[in-house]
Amino acid sequence: MSGARRQPLGRGLSALFGAAEGRAEGGGAVREVAIELIRPGAYQPRRHFDEAELDALAQSVREKGVLQPLLVRQVDEDDAAFELIAGERRWRAAQRAGLHQVPVLVRQLADVEALEIALIENLQREDLTSIEEAEAYRRLTRDFGRTQADLATALGKSRSHVANTLRLLGLPDVVRRQLETGALSAGHGRALLSAQDPVTLAGEVVRRGLNVRATEQLVKRKTAPRVGGRRAERDADTAALERELTRELGLRVTIAGKTRGGALTLHYSNLDQLDRMLALLRAR
């Protein structure tokens, strides 16, 4: 994949859904397809769908139909089945509404394009949790060779936003689940990245209902090492280096200085993260 020529990232949904008189920009015709011939996309970054929102959308579909076509690609040239690229909420709502056919736009898309378009659609609608967004970024950078600068430009985000979102994957699974359910915000997650015990502090943040600023202050109090019975401020350069390494590696990194030398610790929360770290080390 790395040797393949990179295509421009993020052509945007307007280029794909710029329909005029039933035809999309680029000549793709909108057609009706049996709903059972469509399967969920393998590159859909969104995993959580609000049941109440789906019910409301299903009611709208019953009354007005599916107003915007789904974007799909053919699974196989000799197969009548299609893979969903964009519009999974509409597809699920149409199923609930009892529709037998839905309008689709069929496009020939490579895997990387499928993931990019699905990501762009969800980000434009603000449908993703911060962890779903981070995992999509990681897949684009790790599996398809996209840079953080590529993503920032294509998605209309700052490079720091992309980097900070990726850093959230360095949190323990327990904290990541709290971000996915909305118990914690992305701001809370970024504050907890520098904590020595993010799981315990995350529980305290949720229990006390702390905002992001209060969470940052809590982490600072709990993380600073004790010197002479009092907590000393972390060395600013060390803290900055920890953040940089965490951002680049996608794992939480802590550095503990000693009188001579010190220790650099990589924190992983599952075997996939460990395998990815070992692969990076072997590649060097």
Which two tokens mark 219? 């982490």
Which two tokens mark 47? 């995993």
Residue with tokens 């996209």: 146
Report how far apart, in Å, the C-alpha atoms of 48 and of each of 85, 89, 132, 242 are.
16, 10, 9, 32
Other beta carbons within 10 Å of 74: 15
Q: Max Cα separation, the chain?
A: 76
* 88 flagged as catalytic: yes
d(CA 224, CA 216): 12
Helix axes 148-155, 159-167, angle to 10 degrees: 120
By CB neighbour count within 10 A (0-12 exposed, 13-18 middle, 19+ buried), where does 255 fall? middle
d(CA 42, CA 40): 7
Beta carbons within 8 Å of 166's beta carbon, 6+ residues apart: 134, 137, 138, 141, 148, 247, 250
Q: Which of 88, 113, 135, 242 is catalytic?
A: 88
Within 13 Å, how many C-alpha atoms sit on residue 78's CB side?
Answer: 0
Instruction: Give catalytic residues, as residue numbers.
Output: 88
